[in-house]
Structure 1
Amino acid sequence: MEINAETKIVGLIGHPVLHSFSPFIHNLAFEILGLNYKYLTFDVLPENLKDALKGIISLGIKGVNVTIPHKETVIENLDFVSPEARIIGAVNTIVNDNGNLNGYNTDVFGFTESLKKYKDLLSNTPAFIFGAGGSARAVIYSLITNFQPERIVIANRNLTRAESLVRYFSQVLGYKDFEVKEFFPPEIAGDIKSSRLIVNTTPIGMYPNSNELPFQSDETFHEGQIVYDLVYNPPMTKFLKLAQSKGAKVISGVEMLILQASKSFELWTGKQMPVEEVKKFLLKKLKLRKKRNDT
């Protein structure tokens, strides 16, 4: 699509932004649908965040995605923050609505939508989460508000952080059926084995450390489980391969990546992203990148 005076700009603010797949995803979707939009990246240092937000308004930028380290700090500078973003404490999408900056968290949509077909299977069953960071917050919010799990076990290296997360969600959402466990001890094997849904929200297993696992034993996985890894590079992590080999259904982080992007896309353009077509090209791109890196 040729850039002209009518081209609408959206983009990404963060630091760093060099390795983001968002420009590829969104610009491909714009091209497929013939929309006169362009997605750019803006490397914004923390001390320049307020000026960057003013620039979005001044330049008429339609909206931006927000990545680290701005997801939390940006909230206090917005005109409106959606309920899910307010509770999670993180915004990853901003819409410039005629000079009003409105913040959303589309990770919740991405996670929820990717599990929607399993809702009956997951409702009122145990869930297990590796990690207690920002991604875990979106996952916990989604599980409590959409799937009503029987219990949620959170395994994290920093127990204090996990306990703080539990206290917070118990208070704001009224959900009390949490357990907190240390990350690696053998006793979590039983919790994993008895859980219907297991989610890795940590970067363990992400390229270039693709041989790492959040949990070493394969005796905990079995048929009837759904194992979800939010890592999307590689699309099929060692963790997912291990679970699949034991009969579990597996979901790649590519699903959440594309679906959260599709919600941002819709908020900016009012159009539906061609999700399956974009996913096909993204998987191809990830495969080519892996091939280059392996040679």
Structure 2
Amino acid sequence: MDNAQDKLKFKFGLVGRNISYSFSRNYFAEKFGKENLKHSYVNFDIESIDELLNVIKITPNLKGLNVTIPYKEEVIPLLDDLNKRARKIGAVNTIRFKENKLIGYNTDYYGFKNSLKPYLKKHHKSALILGTGGASKAIAYALKKLKIKFDYVSRSNKKGVKFQYSDLNNDIISNYKIIINCTPIGTFPDVDQCPNIPYDSINEKHILYDLIYNPERTKFLSYGEKKGATVINGLKMLELQAEKSWQIWNKS
């Protein structure tokens, strides 16, 4: 076998739990096929983040990883370093292997920011973030960069959370013209579920953004669409963050 050719065969993958539905695996398989690359992309479906270092140890030619729910925060202590932006965000969705070190990055913020920007109008000055997990941290960082004020909504009263779902009313919904679902509520196969917010208060000035991409139209987005809101699912964000991850893995 030609050694130079063999060196081009790297392995990439996704780390998460219950990730058989994975967008990333299909996306990169198609990308590698189109670009005639010999690489492979696999799912590392692990029950605990403690399994990750052993997975890395026993997997040859591993060059980069994506990280998804529920490990975007839990993975940080296992890394050798974080890039500046990932450190500010406090969540990692991309790991680069460099000189036997694991370096964490966050490309979620980039995907979200650049998929939302084309839809923004002057009245989009404030946002509600539904959920407080690792994904929501990247969303909050992107909103700061876009100079959009935001508040968190959670099921429980915790530090940094302004509203619980039971607090939400017409006035609050009217004052936040962007509502972003960062929870897994409504993901396939639980497509009949949606965040518990007063949808009757949504109007044509609202943007409803769901990080979920399967199904294409969640119940959350369908309710928004019926009220005339602009609705965006998570597919474009995922495509953008995947390409950003690819750039990071291939940096010299």
Q: Structure 1-normalised TM-score?
A: 0.75
Query: 8 Å contact 1:230–1:253 — kept in the other structure?
Result: yes
SS at match of 1:129: strand
Task: State how far apart, in whole Å, the 2-side matches of 1:153 and 1:90 are.
Answer: 18
Match of 2:185 among 199, 204, 219: 204
Deviation at 1:216, TM superposition (A): 5.0
| Aligned Cα root-mean-square deviation (Å) | 2.3
Structure showing the higher helix proportion among its residues: 1
CA gap of 1:47–1:216, structure 2 versus 1, over 3 A, is closer
Aligned to 2:29: 27
1:274-285 correspondence runs (5 A): none
Deviation at 1:106, TM superposition (A): 1.2
1:24 Cα deviation (Å)? 0.5
* Pairing of 1:66-77 with structure 2 (within 5 A): 66-77=67-78
Give 1:263 shift: 1.4
Q: Contact between 1:206 and 1:233, CA under 8 Å: does it hold in 2?
A: yes
Which residue, 155, 158, 170 being the options, matches 1:157? 155
Residue 210 of structure 2 contacts residue 232 of structure 2 at CA under 8 Å; is this kept in 1?
A: yes
TM-score (norm 2): 0.86
Measured in 1, the distance between the counterparts of 2:78 and 2:65 equals: 14
1:159 is displaced (CA, Å) by 1.2
Question: Which residue in the other structure is 1:48 paired with?
Answer: 51
Instruction: Give the number of equivalent residue pairs.
Output: 245
Residue matched to 1:128: 128
Cα separation, 1, equivalents of 2:98 and 2:197: 48
Question: What letter corresponds to residue 67 of structure 1 in structure 2?
Answer: T
Cα distance change of structure 1 residues 238 and 269 upon mapping to structure 2, 3 Å threshold? same
Please tell me whether the aligned partners of residues 12 and 62 of structure 2 are also in contact (alpha carbons under 8 angstroms).
yes
Question: Identity across aligned pairs (percent)?
Answer: 37
**SS of match in other structure, 1:62:** strand
Which whole-Å deviations, capped at 9, do the CAs of 1:205-253 have from their partners, x for residues lacking one?
A: 2222212221353321112221101121111112112212222111112
Asked whether the equivalents of residues 91 and 135 of structure 2 are also in contact (C-alpha less than 8 Å), the reply is no
Q: What are the ranges of 5 or more consecutive residues in structure 1 without an aligned counterpart?
A: 167-178, 271-295
Aligned pairs (5 A) from 1:241-260: 241-260=222-241
Structure 1 residue 82 and structure 2 residue 64: aligned? no
